[in-house]
Structure 1
Amino acid sequence: MKKIKFLALSATVMVMLFSCQKKEITEETPQNIYEPTKEQLDKLYDMGINIDDVSIQEITYLDGKTSKYFVSGDILVPVSDLDSYPKLKSLDDGNKQYRHVNIVSPANRNIDILGYTGGNLGLTSKMQTALSWAVNNYNALPNSLNFNLTFGTDYVPADIVVYKVNNANGGGSAGLPNAQGKPYKWIQINSGMDAFSVNVNEHVIGHEIGHCLGLRHQDWYNRQSCGYSGPLPAESPAIWIPGTPFSAFADSIMLACFGPNEDGEFTDTDKTALNILY
Structure 2
Amino acid sequence: MFKKAAVLVASCGALLAGCGTDLQTENQEIVSNLIEAGFRADDIMIVDDSVYVGLDAQVSLTASREMLQHDKQTQEQFRTTNLVGTGVTKICVVPTSQFNSYPNLSAGLDLAIDNYNSQGLRLTFARGSASDCTATISAKTTTGAGGSSGFPTGGKPYGTINIGTGTDSYGADVCEHVITHEIGHTIGFRHSDYYDRSISCGGAASNEGASNVGAILIPGTPSTAKVGGSIMNSCFRASETGEWSTSDKTALKALYP
User: For residue 11 of structure 1, what is the aligned residue in structure 2?
Assistant: 54
Matched to 1:146, the amino acid is T
Identity %: 38
What is the root-mean-square deviation in Å for CA atoms of aligned residues?
A: 2.9
For the residues of structure 1 that align with 2:210 and 2:139, how far apart are their CA atoms? 33
Indicate if the aligned counterparts of 1:114 and 1:158 stay in contact, CA closer than 8 A: no
For the residues of structure 2 that align with 1:256 and 1:213, how far apart are their CA atoms? 16
Deviation of 1:12 after TM superposition, in Å, equals 5.6
Secondary structure in 2 matching 1:258: coil
More helix per residue: 2
Q: Can you give the 5+ residue segments of structure 1 that lack an aligned partner in the other structure?
A: 14-93
User: For residue 112 of structure 1, what is the aligned residue in structure 2?
Assistant: 92
The within-5 A match list for 1:72-221 is 96-117=76-97, 120=98, 122-150=100-128, 159-165=136-142, 167=143, 169-178=144-153, 180-221=154-195
For the residues of structure 1 that align with 2:167 and 2:184, how far apart are their CA atoms? 18
Deviation of 1:130 after TM superposition, in Å, equals 0.6
Indicate if the aligned counterparts of 2:88 and 2:135 stay in contact, CA closer than 8 A: no
Matched to 2:119, the amino acid is L
For the residues of structure 2 that align with 1:233 and 1:184, how far apart are their CA atoms? 19
- The C-alpha deviation readout for 1:107-133, integer Å capped at 9, x for no partner, is 11321111222xx45551221111000
2:220 corresponds to 1:243:
yes
Query: Residues 235 and 176 (structure 1 numbering): CA distance in 2 closer, same or farther, change over 3 Å?
Result: closer
Secondary structure in 1 matching 2:81: coil
Secondary structure in 1 matching 2:94: strand
Indicate if the aligned counterparts of 2:193 and 2:200 stay in contact, CA closer than 8 A: yes
Matched to 2:179, the amino acid is I
Indicate if the aligned counterparts of 2:75 and 2:226 stay in contact, CA closer than 8 A: no
More strand per residue: 1
Indicate if the aligned counterparts of 2:135 and 2:156 stay in contact, CA closer than 8 A: no
Indicate if the aligned counterparts of 1:111 and 1:159 stay in contact, CA closer than 8 A: yes
Q: Can you give the 5+ residue segments of structure 2 that lack an aligned partner in the other structure?
A: 1-39, 45-52, 57-73
Deviation of 1:202 after TM superposition, in Å, equals 0.5
Query: Residues 11 and 125 (structure 1 numbering): CA distance in 2 closer, same or farther, change over 3 Å?
Result: same
